[in-house]
A and B are shown apart, each in its own frame.
Chain A
Amino acid sequence: MQALAVVSRSSRIECIHYGHFCITDSDKNIKYHIGDPNTKIFIRSSAKPIIAVAFVESGAMERFGITLEELAIICSSHSGQYFHRQAVKSILHKLGLNEDSLLCGCTDPYNEEMLNLLIRENKRPSPLFNCCSGKHSGMLALCRFYGYPIENYNNVNHPVQKLIFKTITDLMGCNAEDIILGVDGCTVPGYMISLHHHSYLYSLLASGYNAKSKYRNSLGLINKAMRDNPRMVMGDGKFCTELMKACGSKVIGKVGDEGVYCVSIPEKNIGISVKIADGSERAIYPVIIQLLKQLGVLNGTEIENLKAWEYPIVKDYKGSVIGNILPVIDIEKPFAQNPVTGQRISENESRFIW
């Protein structure tokens, strides 16, 4: 297992995050990787833009007059801000439904302000606050479009889930056996696939209208929807949104639970899949920025704008800086470093020194 990031305290390594990544082009060629690219991971919420292909492909967008903003929320893990909830509400309204049809369950919103507001007003969050409510409304739209029952749409045997599964296997160009099904946090099927396949799916999204796939038009529209609406994809102050905003949406970034992250890089037609083995999200940000830097995707200003994510600060309770989360990857020399806790480390601009 290879270290991808470390956490420092007083210039010593306090924690280490191990993991895998795979970078693949739209011809399915692996460009770089750390760890076995055939390792299978649950792709969690990073599946959302891929799931959305089935929705766009059906023609449901046109039938129900779904906007690009609304398509972006279907691809999102949103933070429950007002405009997110409005977008989901609007989709449901266009389907003649309301939030009672959502089977995603209720969870606290990621947005701290919204969460505090709910607590102050002693309110339970409605399903609209659930980060997956956009995806669920997309599934409901498919049900409505094909005339499937809207009950139990989250069940693996429901025709809408079978359609989504078929679309994903088609996109991956693989057999059904290559995908292991599980259950996601929001109760719909979750997909376990290899890092290679995972990064390939994101390379297809990167290529969009130019993808060598029969789904190219849908991929192109999803690509556009997400890049045009970065605030919809996650929310203010959240990594996916901040990453896309900082670089003028030259990449698409999408988080998944348990340390999963994907990036599509349209200008290079490549996709990145990262999995932090221990499931920690804090290690993802510096690893992604570092990878984009080393791939030559980000320019100086963009890197500067993303500094807080590249070297996230560890503070004490009084707010003094006592450490950083530091990326320790080198795509050209993947095995150059083998950090150990207790080791001295000092962050000096963009280089880390042992």
Chain B
Amino acid sequence: MEPLAVVTRDNYIESIHYGYVCIVNSSGKVIYNLGEYNTRIFFRSSAKPIQVIPLLQSGAADALGFSKKEIAIACASHSGQKIHQEAVEELLKKLDLSKDNLHCGIMTPYSEEENKRLAAQGESPSVFHCSCSGKHSAMLALAKFRGYNVDNYEKKSNPVQEEILKNLAEFAEAEADTIPIGTDGCGAPIYLLPIHKIALTYAKLSEYAQDRNSAYHQSCKTVFDAMTQYPEMVAGDYEFCTELMQATGSKLIGKVGCEAVYCLGIKKDNLGICIKIADGNERAVYPVVVQILRDIGILGNSEFSGLKHWYNIMLKNNLGEEIGRIIPICDLKSPINKQYHLGDSISFSDKV
């Protein structure tokens, strides 16, 4: 574990975020790492682009006539905007199912605007506001296509989940029965895997998306295209995943997971990246992702300038004046070259 980002106040370190970074290629070779890459973490929502593959590989998505936009919402942790709600509703319609079939539970939407609209109109959020409702619809679709029980599709004993696990284990080059399974925020199974194995699933996704000879080519290409062509479906307005993919064209896919997980698949050199902030605070993820993409030469200058507000995130006081920043302090090329302590003075300009 290494310090990855600091939060400053008046040029002093007020808080520190520790964590892990691992970058692998599609053969599983670790190219860069910060911290022990065998550390196991829950994959959380970053698993969604991998979890959707059986839907595509089985032929269910084609048979049910899913569009790329709908595949994008299946890979999403969406913010519950109108466009997201409608996409999920549309998906369910194609399955002849309704919101009652969704077992993801109800949460307040991430979209502040939608949240305020709900409060203002005295409405309660619905399952469509749940960030995982797209993933759950995709699971229902696979269950329906295969003729499995749709009433307990989210239980790990349902063959839908077995199929998803089997595929995920293959991408991670792990034995399915050795992967500890926990419960995600939306009630679906979630997998505990070493960080480098999680990175590997994204490296494979990137490779297969480009390798016409791969048996997974079409499925992985569809995931990549769906996420990069409909980034607004993957998270939402003002959200990091959306803005990152909007800024980088079709170069990469990026997906956040709860408790500060972030995964990236990069077409160039078929790289997969997994980041985990140990304390689970998402605010540290964004600057670290941008820093790493810069370090490995993926972000051009104009792409970087479009993402600057995610790089040295400005913190303001109640009058809107700048009082500090969230600054990435990780250096892939020379790990642990400097110690950081609370209360140390740090100059923001050092890192620009």
A contact set with B: CB distance below 8 Å: 1, 7, 9-12, 14-18, 20, 39-42, 103-107, 116, 119-120, 122, 130, 180-187, 190, 192, 258-259, 275-280, 283, 316-320, 322, 340-342
Neighbouring A residues of B104 by C-beta, 8 Å:
317
Residue B27 lies at the interface, judged by CB distance under 8 Å to chain A: no
Known: A14-B280, A316-B187. A187 touches B321 (CB 8 A): yes
- Whether A41 lies near B14 (C-beta < 8 A) is yes
- Whether A258 lies near B120 (C-beta < 8 A) is no
- Whether A183 lies near B10 (C-beta < 8 A) is yes
Return the chain A residue nearest B118 by Cβ.
A119
Known: A7-B280, A277-B15, A341-B40. A20 touches B342 (CB 8 A): yes
Known: A116-B119, A119-B116. A341 touches B105 (CB 8 A): no
- Whether B41 lies near A316 (C-beta < 8 A) is no
- Whether A258 lies near B15 (C-beta < 8 A) is yes
- Whether A187 lies near B343 (C-beta < 8 A) is no
Shortest C-beta distance, B101 to chain A (Å), equals 14
* Complex CA–CA separation, A192 to B343 (angstroms): 8
* Complex CA–CA separation, A18 to B19 (angstroms): 11
Among B166-174, B176-184, B205-213, B223-231, the stretch that binds chain A is B176-184
Residue B323 lies at the interface, judged by CB distance under 8 Å to chain A: yes
- Whether A12 lies near B192 (C-beta < 8 A) is yes
Main SS at interface, chain A: loop
Residue B106 lies at the interface, judged by CB distance under 8 Å to chain A: yes
* Binary CB contact string for chain B from 315 to 352 against chain A (1 if under 8 A, 0 otherwise): 00111110100000000000000000111000000000
Neighbouring B residues of A18 by C-beta, 8 Å:
18, 278-279
- Whether A15 lies near B10 (C-beta < 8 A) is no
Neighbouring A residues of B120 by C-beta, 8 Å:
119-120, 122
- Whether B14 lies near A185 (C-beta < 8 A) is no
Return the chain A residue nearest B130 by Cβ.
A317
For chain B, residues 2 to 60, give those with C-beta under 8 angstroms from any C-beta of chain A.
7, 9-10, 12, 14-18, 39-42
Return the chain A residue nearest B117 by Cβ.
A119
Known: A277-B15, A320-B187. A40 touches B342 (CB 8 A): yes
- Whether B342 lies near A14 (C-beta < 8 A) is no
Which of these, A183, A186, A258, A280, contacts B279 with CB under 8 Å? Answer: A280
* Complex CA–CA separation, A1 to B341 (angstroms): 10
Known: A41-B14, A119-B119, A341-B41. A16 touches B323 (CB 8 A): no
Known: A12-B192, A185-B318, A278-B18. A42 touches B9 (CB 8 A): yes
- Whether B342 lies near A278 (C-beta < 8 A) is no
- Whether A105 lies near B187 (C-beta < 8 A) is no
- Whether B318 lies near A105 (C-beta < 8 A) is yes
Neighbouring B residues of A39 by C-beta, 8 Å:
341-343
Return the chain B residue nearest A342 by Cβ.
B40
Neighbouring A residues of B105 by C-beta, 8 Å:
316-319
Known: A192-B12, A278-B279, A341-B39. A183 touches B185 (CB 8 A): no
A-B contact pairs, 19 of them (CB 8 A): A1-B18, A12-B192, A16-B278, A39-B343, A42-B14, A106-B318, A116-B119, A182-B12, A183-B9, A277-B16, A277-B18, A277-B342, A278-B279, A278-B281, A279-B281, A280-B279, A317-B104, A317-B107, A341-B276
Name 6 extra pairs, CB < 8 A, besides A104-B318, A105-B318, A186-B317: A1-B18, A41-B14, A122-B120, A183-B10, A316-B184, A318-B187
* Complex CA–CA separation, A201 to B284 (angstroms): 32
Neighbouring B residues of A105 by C-beta, 8 Å:
317-320
Shortest C-beta distance, A37 to chain B (Å), equals 12
Known: A116-B119, A320-B187. A107 touches B318 (CB 8 A): yes
Shortest C-beta distance, A51 to chain B (Å), equals 17
Shortest C-beta distance, B213 to chain A (Å), equals 35
Shortest C-beta distance, B10 to chain A (Å), equals 4
- Whether A340 lies near B39 (C-beta < 8 A) is yes
Residue B122 lies at the interface, judged by CB distance under 8 Å to chain A: yes
Return the chain B residue nearest A182 by Cβ.
B10
* Complex CA–CA separation, A107 to B319 (angstroms): 9
* Complex CA–CA separation, A265 to B39 (angstroms): 40
Residue B275 lies at the interface, judged by CB distance under 8 Å to chain A: no
Known: A185-B317, A342-B40. A259 touches B187 (CB 8 A): no
* Complex CA–CA separation, A96 to B104 (angstroms): 55
